[in-house]
Amino acid sequence: MNVGIIGSGTMGSGIAQVAATAGCSVKLYDTNQEALDKAKASLEKILNRLIEKGRIDTEEKNRIQSNITYVDSLKALADSNLTIEAIVENIDIKKKVFSELESYVADDCIIASNTSSLSIASIASSLQKPERCIGIHFFNPAPLMKLVEVIPAVQTSKTVLDKSVETIKSWKKTVAVAKDTPGFIVNRVARPFYGEALRIYEEGIADFETIDHSLKTLGGFRMGPFELMDFIGNDVNYTVTETVFTAFYFDPRYKPSFTQKRLSEAGYLGRKSGKGYYDYDSSGKIINSCHHELDSGSHEELAQTIFDRVLVMLINEAADALFLNIASVEDIDNAMTKGVNYPKGLLAWADEKGIDWCVTKLDELYNEYHEDRYRCSPLLRKMNKENKTFFN
Ligand code: NAI
C-alpha cells in the first residue's frame, strides 16, 4: 500500500514510522526541508535505540528506513492509496492543502486528517469528493500509543470507513470509531481528570501533591493530574480545554481554570520550561515535591474524597459520551486505556463501583453546588433504575 504523509513534525514522522514498520511504502512530505531532515535523523536514532534494546535487528531497521521516501512536493504523493495529513492545526491551511492534494491523487485515494480538534466535516468540505475524507487520529508518540481514533464525517462513505479501520488494524493499532464531535473520545472524556482536579485545588480542599498522590495511590493512574498537565504543557492543555469548552457552546462541565491560565500566561508551562505546578531539574525530574504519607485517618479520608470526586466525574463524562452515541462501550473503554493509559476503562470502573454509587456521588455534588457541571448523565440514572450494568 502506498501511504502519503503530509507534515513531518512530531506526529507525521511517528505515523510514517508506524506505516513503514507495517510494510507500507511511505512518502513523507513537508514544506520545510529542516523538518524533513530532522524526521530522518530522529528515525535513525529511534531505530538504533530499538536495536540496542534487542527489539529489532539491523535488517529490520534497513527495511523500515527503505520504506520511507522524504519528498518536498505535494505532487509526489500522487500514487498514494491513503494520505494522512499532520500539519499545523489551522482549518484554512488544511483546507487549502486538501484541495490541492485532491487534484493529484486517484479517485479512490482516501484523504485523512490527524487533527485533534477541528471538525472532519469542515475539512472534508474542501474536497470535490468529500466522501473520501476521514479523521485518523493518532496519539503521541504514535509508534508507542496503541490507540487510533477513526472519525467518519457526515460525508464519509461506508467503504472509506471500513477500509480505514481495516488498514489501521493491520498496522497493529487498536481502533476506536468516534463521532465527529469536539474532542472525539479521549480529549472529551479525559477533561474532568484535569478540570475537577483544578477545581478541588481552587476550592482549597487540597494542594497539588495531595491530589496527585490520591489519584496515583487510590486510582492507580501513572501520573497525577498536575504532573500530567506539566508533562503535556500548561499552554497546550489549557488550549485543548478552552477549545472543547467553546466547541460545546460553553457547557460548564468543560470550563477552563484560571489557575492553569495564569500559569500558562506566566510561562510556567511545566516540564518543558522547568516550572509549572512543580519545579523541574534539567533532566525533567520534579525537585520540589514533598511526599505525602496518607497514614492518618483524616488524610486517608481526604484522599478518598478527592479520588472519588475525580473518578465519578470521569465516569459521568464517559457515560454521557455513550448516551450521545459518540462511540460504543468497548471503544470508549479502549480509548482511555490505550490512548491515555488509564488503569481501567471508565465504564468497567463504573460497573465495579456500582451504578448506584455513581448516581449517589454525582447527586451529592450537584446538591452541594447546584451547578450544571455536576449533573448526572441521564444514562446512569436510567441504568440505575433498571438495575443495569455496562458490561454483561
Ligand atoms: P508539528 O508542529 O510537530 O509538525 C507540523 C509539521 O507540518 C511541521 O514540520 C511543518 O513544517 C509542517 N507543515 C506546516 N504547514 C505545512 C504545509 N502547508 N504543507 C506541508 N507541511 C506543512 O505538529 P504536530 O504536533 O505533529 O501536529 C500535527 C497535527 O497533528 C495537528 O493537526 C495536531 O492537532 C495533530 N495532533 C497532534 C498531537 C500531539 O500530541 N502533538 C496528537 C494528535 C494529533
Q: Within this chain, do residues 123 and 206 fall inside the same structural domain, yes or no?
A: no
Q: What pLDDT was estimated at residue 292?
A: 54
Residues 6+ apart with CB under 8 A from 145: 138, 139, 338, 339
Tallying the residues shown for the chain, one arrives at 392
DSSP characters for 120-160?
A: HHHHHTTSSSGGGEEEEEE-SSTTT--EEEEEE-TT--HHH
**Cβ–Cβ < 8 Å for 8, 16:** yes
Between vectors from CA 196 to CA 214 and to CA 325, what angle results, nearest 5°? 115
CB atoms within 10 A of CB 248: 16
Which atom belonging to ligand 1 lies closest to the Cα atom of 117? 34
Q: In 3D, which of 251, 369, 386 has the Cα closest to residue 309?
A: 369
Query: Same domain for 198 and 107?
Result: no
Using an 8 Å Cβ cutoff, are 96 and 118 in contact? no
Among 272, 270, 253, 280, which Cα is nearest to 373's? 253
Q: Does the C-beta of 92 come closer than 6 Å to ligand 1? A: no
Alpha carbon separation from 226 to 210, 271, 301, 383 (Å, rounded): 10, 11, 20, 33
Grid coordinates belonging to 119: 471538525
86/56 Cα distance (integer angstroms): 27
199 and 103 together in one domain: no
Q: DSSP letters along 262-286, please?
A: HHHHHT--BGGGTBSSSBB-TTS-B
**HSE, side-chain direction, 13 A CA sphere, residue 189:** 30
What separation in Å is there between the alpha carbon of 365 and the centre of ligand 1? 40
With a 6 Å cutoff on the Cβ, whether 93 touches ligand 1 is yes
Q: Which of residues 135, 156, 177 is at a domain's end? A: 177
Same domain, 388 and 243: yes
How many angstroms separate the alpha carbon of residue 11 from the centre of ligand 1? 6
Q: Report in angstroms the alpha-carbon separations of 168 from 19, 45, 67, 175, 216.
A: 9, 25, 17, 7, 32
Report pLDDT for 256. Answer: 97
Q: In what order do the strands lie in the sheet with 133-138?
A: 68-71, 25-29, 2-6, 82-85, 110-113, 133-138, 147-152, 174-177
Cα 266 to ligand 1 centre (Å): 25
Q: Which residue carries 488524610 as its cell?
A: 299
Question: Which of 177, 209, 241 delimits the end of a domain?
Answer: 177
In sequence order, which ranges of 68-108 are alpha helices (DSSP H)? 91-104
CATH at residue 201? 1.10.1040.50
- Residue 103 sits in the same domain as residue 165: yes
Same domain, 372 and 338: yes
Predicted confidence at residue 392, as pLDDT, reads 81
CA distance 56 to 228: 30
CA distance linking residue 16 with residue 24, whole number of Å: 9
Which of ligand 1's atoms lies nearest the C-alpha of 140? 40
What's the structural domain count of the chain?
2
Does 216 lie in the same domain as 78?
A: no
Q: CA quadruple 284, 285, 287, 292: dihedral positive or negative?
A: positive
Confirm if 259 and 230 have CB atoms less than 8 A apart: no
30: domain range?
2-177
Among protein residues, the one with the nearest Cα to ligand 1's atom 9 is 9
- Tell which atom from ligand 1 comes closest to the C-alpha of 89: 32
Give the DSSP per-residue string, 325-372: TSS-HHHHHHHHHHHS--SS-HHHHHHHH-HHHHHHHHHHHHHHH--G
- Expressed in angstroms and rounded, the spacing between residue 268 Cα and the centre of ligand 1 is 23
Closest atom, ligand 1, to C-alpha of 39:
9
Q: Look up the CATH number of the domain holding residue 73.
A: 3.40.50.720
Residue type, 194: Y
273 in contact with ligand 1, CB cutoff 6 A: no
Of 124, 143, 177, the one marking the end of a domain is 177
101 within 8 A of 84, measured Cβ to Cβ: no
Q: Are residues 236 and 359 in the same domain?
A: yes
Gap from CA of 309 to ligand 1 centroid (Å)? 35
Please state, in angstroms and rounded to a whole number, the distance separating the CA atoms of residues 284 and 282.
Answer: 5
The residue ranges of the chain whose pLDDT is under 70 are: 289-297
Cα 95–chain centre separation: 22
| 142 and 208 part of one domain | no
59 and 161 in a common domain: yes
The pTM of this model reads: 0.93
What percent of the chain lies above the pLDDT cut of 90?
A: 94
Together in a domain, 63 and 107: yes
6 lines ligand 1 (CB under 6 A): yes
d(CA 47, CA 35): 18
Phi, psi of 371 (to 5 degrees): -115, 140
Residues 154 and 206 in one domain: no
Q: At what angle do helices 33-52 and 58-66 cross, to 10 degrees?
A: 160
Candidates 6, 8, 11, 91: which one to mutate for ligand 1, based on the most atoms within 8 Å of Cβ? 11
Grid cell of 160 as nine digits: 472509506
Prior bond of 130 cis (ω within 30°)? no
pLDDT in tens, 54-81: 999 999 999 999 999 999 999 999 999 9
State the DSSP H helix or E strand holding residue 71, giving kind and residue range, or none if neither: strand 68-71
Owner of C-alpha cell 457541571: 373
pLDDT at 172: 97
